[in-house]
Copies of this chain bind each other. A is one copy, B any other.
Amino acid sequence: MARGAGIAQDELRRVNLGAVLSRVHASGPTSRAALTAELGLNRSTIGDLTAQLAALGLVSEELPTRRGGTGRPSHLVVPRTDVTVVAVLLDVDRIVTALVGLGGVVLARRERLHQRGGHDVEAVVATVAQAVAELQALPEAGRCLGVGVSVPGVVRADDGMVRSAPNLGWTDAPFSALLHTEVGLPVRTGNDANLGVYAEHLRGAAVGVDDVAYVSGSVGIGGGFLVGGQPLRGAGGYAGEIGHLCVDLDGARCRCGAVGCWETRVGENHLLEAAGWLPGGGLPAVDQVTQAAMAGDVRAGAALEEAARWIGVGLRAIVNMVNPEMIVLSGVLAKVFEQRRTTLVGHLRLGGPKALQERLTLVTAALGDDSSLFGAAETAFEPLLADPTTISSPAAHSA
């Protein structure tokens, strides 16, 4: 029941340029013939569009080295990796930065721990700004269009304001604005799970799958949903706060103030404590629990079993509400899934209408811990892909 808005003649070319560039950005070098077929445009239109993208310095056109099939060989349209962005992943214990070229190629990557200032917003901004400057100075940086940032928190879609990031201790932190002032480039900031699902859809476990729930667990639990191939944002861009599903009103109090939130049952630290470990230590500590369980530690085994049960209960809520075709698990949830698949799936499939369970697959994130980092790169490329004509010309840049 989608009701389209009008499309003016002059918008058409912009939309089509974006469609071609998005296609080669996602898939890498693509023949003009394939673009013609996949985008439903005619051959001469595709030729015009790729020529304009080449003139903008966004793609190069190459003759394929090998001929396939009969007839004239079709030119390959190749995304230019000297059009770049910087992707930033803010985590509780580390900051990852990467220089990413058009086509999703990682040209350079840095990882560092938080400074002595800890999670202080100004300190994090300074650290990130330094890393961005370092990457921008590399010869591979070419035309660097902007910075994309992944934050483990609730991020306002309009302006990237970090409304809350409990693990960083941030409330209403204007991280995007502060970083923009430091680096002078456009900065776009998003929630880690929302960025993660997009990256897994573009280049990971969910390629070709349009209805996806990405669920990532560390201390808290984050969710990002793709519905009909589009990110589910919600009114403020805050959708996916699934750590605060109420699953157990007789349970523990959550740091959010409510009782029985899902993340009090399946977060990393709850698992560690249930297994008899001290909280903290992240995924390496979780790995110790799984190794202990495999070695016969009864308490560790029971902790995994219990986590699997509660993960199943929470995923069932997601299935019944948004009807995904695929659930991509990351972090501690992926670890528990690998160890206790039968229990987890059993509790997931326990109830609700059968139709929603039929074609559902569960997988672990193909991009591993980098889903959100790749997603951060994508959010920085987004304005270019929406309208490739906005880029300054290569000549203007090199001048």
| Chain A contacts to B: CB under 8 angstroms | 1-9, 12, 15-16, 18-20, 22-23, 26, 39-42, 45, 154, 156, 163-164, 198, 210-211, 223, 225, 227-228, 230-250, 254, 256-259, 261, 313, 316-318, 320-325, 350-356, 358-360, 378-379, 382, 385-386
Contact = CB atoms under 8 A, between A and B. Distances in A.
A351 B238 contact: no
Contact of A235 (B2, B256, B324): B324
Nearest to A244: B352
A236 B3 contact: no
7 contacts: A3-B23, A8-B45, A154-B356, A235-B360, A237-B323, A246-B313, A317-B317
Contact of A321 (B245, B258, B323): B245
Contacts of A256: 351-353
B235 A323 contact: yes
A249 to B, nearest CB: 6
Contacts of A353: 154, 163-164, 238, 241, 244, 256
A317 to B, nearest CB: 5
Given A256-B351, A355-B156, A198 B1 contact: yes
Contacts of A322: 232, 234, 239, 321-322
Contacts of A261: 351-352
A238 B350 contact: no
Contacts of A7: 7, 12, 15-16, 19
Pick from A4, A256, A320 the residue with the most CB of B within 10 Å: A320
Contact of A316 (B15, B246, B351): B246
A316 B9 contact: no
B248 A249 contact: yes
A241 B320 contact: yes
Nearest to A382: B1
A174 B23 CA distance: 39
Contacts of A211: 234-235
B356 A41 contact: no
Contacts of A232: 227, 232, 322
B324 A321 contact: no
B233 A323 contact: yes
Nearest to A250: B250
A354 B164 contact: yes
Given A230-B2, A351-B254, A238 B16 contact: no
A28 to B, nearest CB: 15
Question: Which 4 residue pairs are nearest across A and B when measured between Cβ atoms?
Answer: A258-B351, A234-B323, A6-B39, A235-B325
Contacts of A249: 247-248, 313
Contacts of A352: 241, 244, 256, 258, 261
Contacts of A210: 235
